[in-house]
Amino acid sequence: MSILVIAEIREGVLRPASYSAVAAGQSLASLTGLGMDILLLGKGAKVVAGASLGQGGTVYVSEAAAVAEYTAEAHAAAAAQLVQEKGYIHLLTPATTTGKDLMPRLAGLLDAGMVSDVTLFEKGDAGVVYTRPMYAGNADAKVVVDTAIQACTVRETAFDAAAPSAGSATELALNLDEASLKAKFVSFDLTQSGRPELTEAKIVVSAGRGVKDAEGIKLIEQLADTLGAALGASRAVVDEGLVPNDLQVGQTGKIVAPDLYLCCGLSGAIQHAAGIKDSKVIVAINKDEEAPIFEIADYGLVDDLFKAVPKLIEKIKAARA
Ligand SMILES: Cc1cc2nc3c(=O)[nH]c(=O)nc-3n(C[C@H](O)[C@H](O)[C@H](O)COP(=O)(O)OP(=O)(O)OC[C@H]3O[C@@H](n4cnc5c(N)ncnc54)[C@H](O)[C@@H]3O)c2cc1C
């Protein structure tokens, strides 16, 4: 009867969102008085878990061929085996692309009720009360789960990352028949970019429809590179094919919480705002002083981005020289 946090590894590196999931697990542990274990599956799990995931009780790892690379089918089956063997009642993953892929399948295998994108755990009369944002972050739903096992994905930006801590890893003896798995890992083609990853960057520079075309995107990229920032975009820019959809920020894109979010030519529709609300400082450049982005921006510049951004780049370079 305890908590299992399923951490995430990619290409031998622990995904930073795992530390937020561990922090969420710790918060649930102190609320319920239950213990917390961690599971890490994949190539390199043993070394990474030993170096970084000493915050809980036991850290289970497996690098077996069936789970060496991520597929939802294999990882869910492996996690389900551990949950059934040890009797965990609360399961957590970060609400990353992988976590959102894995947890529904795992919950399905275990007949567990599931809550997505949890931002807070509280104690209620009927057990744990989960808070999750809805309507693009304009309302918080309070959810109670009445199944014996309760699964959730946790929003990275809502829990301050736990500090890495050295510990030891326990090998999980897997009962997985690799030949019976229907999904096979073929290859992992990561988009190559010299810029930081959107959800992990300290500074994000985003382009809205006001950038107009590929030339406009180049200008915003220049600004991002001058600041060492990740590049983001509104859905309008993604829909126009100006940037790939993994750069979309917002309700149906990525949720970001950088120290600085700087957006240019972006109106600030509620679906976009839902993805940037937790940013520490929001700066907007828009030629329309009535644009809704100015309602949530800490600093705003009413100007044509094609005039303002080159000047800004110049000033930043001069200040750094
Ligand atoms: C279910 C649903 C989910 C959605 N999910 C998302 C999501 O995840 N992310 C997202 O971004 N959107 C999302 N949207 C779309 C969202 O509603 C908006 O349509 C979109 O965010 C608008 O993008 P934009 O601000 O770039 O464009 P616009 O709203 O067209 O705004 C362009 C802005 O640029 C300014 N501008 C124009 N030219 C210049 C210039 N030269 N200099 C300075 N400023 C200039 C204009 O004043 C305007 O404010 C979703 C919509 C729905 C219905």
Cα 237 to ligand 1 centre (Å):
8
Q: According to the model, what pLDDT value does residue 241 have?
A: 97
Q: According to the model, what pLDDT value does residue 138 have?
A: 85
**pTM for the full predicted model:** 0.84
Nearest to 284 by CA among 239, 295, 230, 196: 295
The fraction of the chain above a pLDDT of 90, given in percent, is 90
> Can you tell me the mean pLDDT for 142-165?
96
Ligand 1, atom 7, lies closest to the CA of: 250
- Report the alpha-carbon distance of residue 25 to residue 165 in Å, rounded: 15
- Torsion over CA: 259, 160, 118, 62 (sign): positive
Instruction: Give me the amino acid identity at 258.
Output: P
> Can you tell me the mean pLDDT for 134-139?
86
Q: Could you identify the residue written with the tokens 């057990």?
A: 127
Ligand 1, atom 23, lies closest to the CA of: 236
Task: Give the N- to C-terminal CA distance of the chain in Å, as an integer.
Answer: 58
Q: Please indicate whether residue 266, judged by its CB atom, sits closer than 6 Å to ligand 1.
A: yes
Class of domain 198-320: alpha beta
Cα 268 to ligand 1 centre (Å):
6
Q: In what order do the strands lie in the sheet with 203-207?
A: 230-233, 203-207, 260-264, 281-286, 299-302
Nearest to 212 by CA among 283, 266, 249: 266
> Can you tell me the mean pLDDT for 268-289?
96
Instruction: Give me the amino acid identity at 114.
Output: M
Report the Cα 32 to chain-centroid distance in Å. Answer: 25
Residue 104 has pLDDT above 80, yes or no: yes
Q: Please indicate whether residue 211, judged by its CB atom, sits closer than 6 Å to ligand 1.
A: no
The pair of three-digit structure tokens given for residue 251, joined into one six-digit string: 């309700």
Q: According to the model, what pLDDT value does residue 179 have?
A: 86
Same fold, 3-180 and 198-320: yes
Cα 31 to ligand 1 centre (Å):
40
Cα 293 to ligand 1 centre (Å):
10
Contact of 152 with 118, CB cutoff 8 Å: yes
Ligand 1, atom 30, lies closest to the CA of: 209
Q: Please indicate whether residue 259, judged by its CB atom, sits closer than 6 Å to ligand 1.
A: no
Q: What is the DSSP letter of 211?
A: G
The CATH number of domain 3-180 is 3.40.50.1100: no
- Report the alpha-carbon distance of residue 161 to residue 5 in Å, rounded: 14
Q: Please indicate whether residue 206, judged by its CB atom, sits closer than 6 Å to ligand 1.
A: no
Cα 16 to ligand 1 centre (Å):
29
Q: What is the pLDDT of residues 81-102, one digit of tens each?
A: 999 999 999 999 999 999 999 9
Domain ranges of the chain: 3-180, 198-320
